Amino acid sequence: MSILTKFLCITLDVTGTLIAYKGELGDYYCMAAKAVGLPCPDYKRMHEGFKLAYTDMARKHPCFGYAEKIPNHEWWKTCVRDSFVKAGYEYDEETFEKIFRRIYATFGSAAPYSIFPDSQPFLRWLRSTGVTVGLISNAEYRYRDVILPALGLNQGSEWDFGVFSGLEGVEKPDPKIYKIALERAGNVAPEEVLHIGDSMRKDFIPARSVGMNAILLDRFKTADAESWRQSGATVLPDLNATKDWLTSPSDSFSP
């Protein structure tokens, strides 16, 4: 009996677990400005400006404006404008519209993302064993409809169901998003579910709080990984190691 036989469903985080950004996010904002003939903004200021603007928007209008029914396009337009302003750059409306159109199109495509080479094989292997595979992500609808399929992660071949914050109105680390996942999996018992993520705060703790099992990936050798281990979490370097762990004897696993 392997560890895998304990689980009817395995859920996974997306960004940092299955896919990653190529380069720094601020780079794409700078490239959009250059593309319309403007001087390239400072990369570091742009990156910091985005972090401030996104944090502010997520606080005022969480889940991409779900509760207020703010159109996705408009939520991001405000966030992008504020990103430039906080970085010290302001443009007239016509110029900003050109910049924004490029940014919105870019992040609605697979261009800024890369898929980890072990992601697709791992997900297909899981589904071949009969395990239900779910995704839980603080992302908007374009992840589900455009970005993941463009990266080769398709519903029906790599995953069975998804819970995306922009479509549900709840986001990690709120345990409610994990309860939604349990419902989507067919109301399976939480102890028969394993969640795989890369954040102690957003993945491990809330998943465990609803009774699910959880492990963490440390793909980027973060300084936090040692404290994760000390707190009792199973920490693995990638999904290949996760497959090895799942196929090891079940008596080596203690929730």
Percent of the chain's residues with pLDDT above 90: 92
pLDDT band with cut points at 50, 70 and 90 for residue 65: very high
Position 163 pLDDT exceeds 90: yes
Ranges in the chain annotated CATH 1.10.150.720: 25-108
Per-position b or e across 5-25, b if 16+ CB within 10 A of its CB: ebbbbbbbbbebbbbbeeeeb
Dump pLDDT digits (tens) for 102-139.
999 999 999 999 999 999 999 999 999 999 999 999 99
Ranges in the chain annotated CATH 3.40.50.1000: 3-20+115-247
Q: pTM for this structure? A: 0.94
Q: How many residues does the chain have?
A: 255
Domain 3-20+115-247 has CATH 3.40.50.1000: yes
118-121, Cβ contacts within 8 angstroms, sequence gap of 24 or more: 118/238, 118/239, 118/240, 119/18, 119/19, 119/153, 119/158, 119/239, 120/152, 120/153, 120/158
pLDDT of residue 12: 98
Spatial distance between the Cα atoms of 184 and 220, rounded to a whole number of angstroms: 31
Spatial distance between the Cα atoms of 212 and 206, rounded to a whole number of angstroms: 9
Domain 25-108 has CATH 1.10.150.720: yes
Per-position b or e across 41-51, b if 16+ CB within 10 A of its CB: bebebbbebbe
Dump pLDDT digits (tens) for 206-249.
999 999 999 999 999 999 999 999 999 999 999 999 999 999 99
Spatial distance between the Cα atoms of 57 and 59, rounded to a whole number of angstroms: 5
Helices (H) then strands (E): counts for the chain = 13, 8
For residues 151 and 115, is the Cβ–Cβ distance under 8 A?
yes
Dump pLDDT digits (tens) for 190-209.
999 999 999 999 999 999 99
Written as six digits, the tokens of 118 are: 């072990």
What average pLDDT does the chain have? 95
